[in-house]
Amino acid sequence: MRARSQEAQRRFRVEHAIVEAAQLLISSGKVDLHVVLGLLGEATGAETIYFTELESEASAVVWQRQGKPSSHWLRELEARLRQFFTRKTPARPFEEPWPLDEKLIVVPVLSAQGRLHGYLVLAFAETPPQHEEEMRLLRVLGGLLATYLDRQAAEAALRDSEERWRRLVEEHPEPIVLTVRGKIVYLNVAARRLLGLGEGEDISGRELLDFISADQYELLQRHLQQLESGTLRSPLECEIIRMDGEARLVELMGMPVPWAGQQAVQMILRDLTERRQAEERYRAFFSTITEGIWRIELRQPVAVTTLPELQLAHIYEQGYLAECNEVMARWLGAERPEALIGKPLKDLRNYFRPHYLRKFIQMQYRLHGEEYAVKGRQGKRYFVVNAVGTVVRDRLVRIWGSCVEVTEATTLERRMVQALEEQQQAIGRELHDGVGQLLTSVRMLSENLAQRLRTESHELAELASRVVHFAQEAAQDIRRIYRGLTPAQLYDEALTVALEELAYTTNTLGQIRCRFESDEAVHVSDPEIKLHLYRIAQEAVHNALKHSQASEIVISLRQWEDAIELCVSDNGCGITLERTRPDSLGMKTMYYRAHAIGGTLHVQSQPGQGTTICCRIPLDNPL
C-alpha cells in the first residue's frame, strides 16, 4: 500500500510539473528552458535532463540537480545519441519515449505535424519505474515543447518577414501609403517626398482625402471602399495636392492587407506628372509639325535573319498603321488620323512602296533621305522619307518614320534641268543653223578659190587647200556638238539606239574604248525619262574621258524585276576625296536628273579600281 501511495504521489508530481511547464510553454514570449527542465527534474527525480535541437547550432540545454555534469559525460551522451539515431532500425519508434539504457530515458520532441525538433534525455541515479502513464505524460511534454519551438520559429519568421517587408517598402522607389478606414497609418520615404513632407513631419491619422482634389472626393471614397472589400484591382488616376499646394497627377493602385490586427489598404501612388507632361508636349509637337509622322506595328515580329524578300512580305502581311499625325493622314487621303489607325499596311501600298521598304531592310532598318514619288489626283507629288526600326531580341517589332514633301523643290529642279536642256538645244540649233551654215559657205568658197589657184599653178594653192580642210573639220565638229546637244535618236528611236550611238561616237575619238551593253527586254517609252537617262550617261562618259585615265568605258542598260538601271563604268583611277569636288556641277546635274524622274543615283568607286555611276528607276513608281 505504501509503495502504491508513493507511486501515485510521484505521478501526481509529474502531472503537476507538466501542467506548470505547459502553462509556461503556451504563454506568449520567450521561455527559460532551464526552468521547464527543472520542473520536470524535480517531479521525476532525475539527476540530469539534457535537451538538444537537431537543426539548431546553439548549445544544448542541460539541467543538473547538483552541480554541473562533466564535459566527458556530455560528450559520451552525445556520441551515444548520434550512434543510436543513425541506426537504420532504432529500438523503438521515434514518436514514443524509450530507455536508452537502464538509467537513461529519451523523449522525442515531436510536433503534431510530425516535425522532429530534437530530444530530451532524462538521466537517473537508479533505474526509474517506467509506467505507461508516466511515459504518456513525458510524450505530452515533448509535444508541448515542440509546439513552443514551432511557435518560436513562426514568430521569428514573422519578425524577419515583417522586417524584410518594412525595409523593402521603406526603400521602395515608388510612393507607398497604408490607410485604415481612409486614415493614413504609414508612409514610406518616397510617399513623404511625393506629398512634400518636411523632416520629422508626421501626418499619421489624417484622412487621405485631405490631399485629394475636392472634385474627386466621392470617386476616391468609393475606390477605397472597393479596395478594402477586395473587389477592385484596377488603378485610379487622381490629383494629389502636396503640402506646398502643388498638384501632382498620380495613378493609385491598391490591395487589402492586414495591419496591426485591422483591415488596411496598401496603395502605390505612381507619379504620372512628368510622363503626362511629356506626352502632352509630344502630342503638341506631333500635331503641329509640318512633317508627316507615322508608326507601323507588326502583329508578329519578324527575325532579322529572315531573307529580305520574306521580311518584306511579312511586313506587308503583319504590319498596320498604329499612329500618324494629321499631316500624314492628309497625304494618305484621310481627313483625320483616326480614319487610318489600325489599317493594314498592304492597303496603304500606294504610299509605303516596296522599293523603299526593301531598301529599309537592306540598310539594316535605318533609312535616311530616301526620295520617291506618288501619283495623285493633282499629279505627281514627291517626298523624302526617313525610317528607323525597333529591334528587340533580334526581331523587328515596329517601324517609326517621317517624311517631308519636296514637290515644289523637285518641280523647281525639273524646271531647272528642263531649262538647261532647252538652252542646250537652242545652242545646238544656233550652231547648226548659224555657225554650221557659215562654215559650209566658207568651205565652198575656199574650194572654189583653191581650184582656181591650182589651175593657175599659183603658189598659194596649197594654202587654200589647207583652209578647205580646216573648214571641213570645223563643220564636222559642229555636227558632233549638235548631235550631242540635240540627240535626234531619242525622239525617233529607242533609248538603246541613242546610247549605242553615244558609245560609237566616243569610240571614234581614239582616246579610249567604249562599248554599250543592253537587255533586249529594256523598253523606255516616256520621252522625259529617255532624255534624262541619256544626259546622265553622257555626263558620266564625259567625266570618265576627262578625269578617269581609263582605257575602257562600258555603258549598260538593264531591266530587273523592280527597276530599270543605267550604269556607266570605267577601269580608271577611281574617285578620291582629293579628286572630288563637292560643288561639281556635272555630279549635281546627274543627281537632279535622277530625282526628276523618280530615280536614285549611286556612285561606287575605289582608288585604282575604277568608278561606276548607276541610275535606278523603280518600275512601281513610273513618271
Q: Range with the lowest mean pLDDT among 18-32, 81-95, 292-306, 376-390? A: 81-95
Q: What is the torsional sign of CA 328, 334, 336, 341?
A: negative
Please determine, for residue 210, whether its predicted confidence score (pLDDT) is greater than 80.
yes
**Max avg pLDDT among 140-154, 263-277, 376-390, 433-447:** 263-277
Beta strands in 242-360 (DSSP E): 247-259, 262-271, 292-303, 319-324
Give the 3-state secondary structure of 433-448. HHHHHHHHHHHHHHHH
Distance of CA 199 to the CA centre of its chain: 40
Residue position matching grid coordinates 509630344: 282
Strands 236-241, 183-187: pairing is: unpaired
From CA 415, how far away is CA 410, in angstroms rounded? 9
Answer whether 191's CB lies under 8 Å from 179's CB.
no
Distance of CA 11 to the CA centre of its chain: 77
Cα–Cα distance list, 111 to 115, 116, 526 (Å): 5, 7, 97
Rg, C-alpha atoms of the chain: 50
Please determine, for residue 471, whether its predicted confidence score (pLDDT) is greater than 60.
yes
Angular region, 614: left φ>0, alpha ψ -120 to 50, beta rest: beta
CA atoms lying within 13 Å on the CB side of residue 352: 27
- Average pLDDT over the chain, rounded to an integer: 79
Answer whether 417's CB lies under 8 Å from 596's CB.
yes
**pLDDT, position 222:** 85
The single-letter DSSP state of residue 276 is H
Per-residue pLDDT tens over the stretch 327-371: 888 888 888 899 999 999 999 988 888 888 888 998 899 998 887
Other beta carbons within 10 angstroms of residue 495's beta carbon come to 26
From CA 238, how far away is CA 273, in angstroms rounded? 11
Q: What is the torsional sign of CA 319, 322, 324, 329?
A: positive
Please determine, for residue 294, whether its predicted confidence score (pLDDT) is greater than 50.
yes
Claim: this prediction has a pTM higher than 0.75: no
Higher pLDDT, 361 or 145: 361
Residue position matching grid coordinates 513552443: 148
**pLDDT, position 91:** 45
Report the alpha-carbon angle 504-506-508, nearest 5. 70
From CA 52, how far away is CA 54, in angstroms rounded? 6
From CA 344, how far away is CA 321, in angstroms rounded? 6
Answer whether 273's CB lies under 8 Å from 251's CB.
no
Other beta carbons within 10 angstroms of residue 43's beta carbon come to 21
Grid coordinates belonging to 568: 556607266
Residues 6+ apart with CB under 8 A from 527: 490, 491
Cα–Cα distance list, 370 to 256, 347, 357 (Å): 57, 21, 10
Answer whether 292's CB lies under 8 Å from 403's CB.
yes
The single-letter DSSP state of residue 60 is P
Per-residue pLDDT tens over the stretch 451-466: 777 777 777 777 777 7
Instruction: State residue 274 phi and psi, 5-degree precision.
Output: -65, -40
- Give the residue-averaged pLDDT of 388-396: 93
Residue position matching grid coordinates 511586313: 315
Q: What percent of the chain has pLDDT over 90?
A: 12
**pLDDT, position 343:** 93
Nearest to 38 by CA among 5, 61, 69: 61
Q: Is 21 helix (H, G, I), strand (E, B) or coil?
A: helix
**pLDDT, position 577:** 47
Strands 48-53, 116-123: pairing is: antiparallel
Please determine, for residue 609, whether its predicted confidence score (pLDDT) is greater than 80.
yes
Q: Is 360 helix (H, G, I), strand (E, B) or coil?
A: helix
Answer whether 321's CB lies under 8 Å from 299's CB.
no
Residue 465's identity, in one-letter code, is S
The single-letter DSSP state of residue 212 is B
The single-letter DSSP state of residue 432 is I
**pLDDT, position 164:** 81
**pLDDT, position 35:** 83
Nearest to 188 by CA among 201, 176, 205: 176
Per-residue pLDDT tens over the stretch 359-379: 899 889 999 888 777 776 666
Higher pLDDT, 419 or 222: 222
**pLDDT, position 2:** 64
The single-letter DSSP state of residue 583 is T
Q: Is 382 helix (H, G, I), strand (E, B) or coil?
A: strand
Please determine, for residue 622, whether its predicted confidence score (pLDDT) is greater than 70.
no
Report the alpha-carbon angle 389-393-398, nearest 5. 25
- Give the residue-averaged pLDDT of 200-215: 87
Report the alpha-carbon angle 245-167-208, nearest 5. 30
From CA 422, how far away is CA 199, in angstroms rounded? 82
Answer whether 354's CB lies under 8 Å from 562's CB.
yes
Helices 495-508 and 461-485: crossing angle, nearest 10°? Answer: 150
Per-residue pLDDT tens over the stretch 31-90: 888 888 887 777 777 888 888 887 765 667 888 877 776 777 777 777 777 666 654 444
Residue position matching grid coordinates 541515479: 125
Grid coordinates belonging to 418: 528642263
From CA 605, how far away is CA 543, in angstroms rounded? 13
The residues pairing with 122 across neighbouring beta strands, listed in sequence order, are 49, 105
Residues 6+ apart with CB under 8 A from 202: none
From CA 574, how far away is CA 576, in angstroms rounded? 7
Outline where 363-435 has alpha helix (H): 407-430
Angular region, 610: left φ>0, alpha ψ -120 to 50, beta rest: left
Residues 6+ apart with CB under 8 A from 201: 192, 243
Residue 453, burial from CB neighbour count under 10 angstroms (0-12, 13-18, 19+): middle
Please determine, for residue 304, whether its predicted confidence score (pLDDT) is greater than 90.
yes
Q: Listing from the earlier edge strand, what are the strands of the sheet with 395-405?
A: 319-324, 292-303, 395-405, 379-392, 366-376
- Give the residue-averaged pLDDT of 93-116: 75
Q: Range with the lowest mean pLDDT among 153-157, 340-344, 409-413? A: 409-413
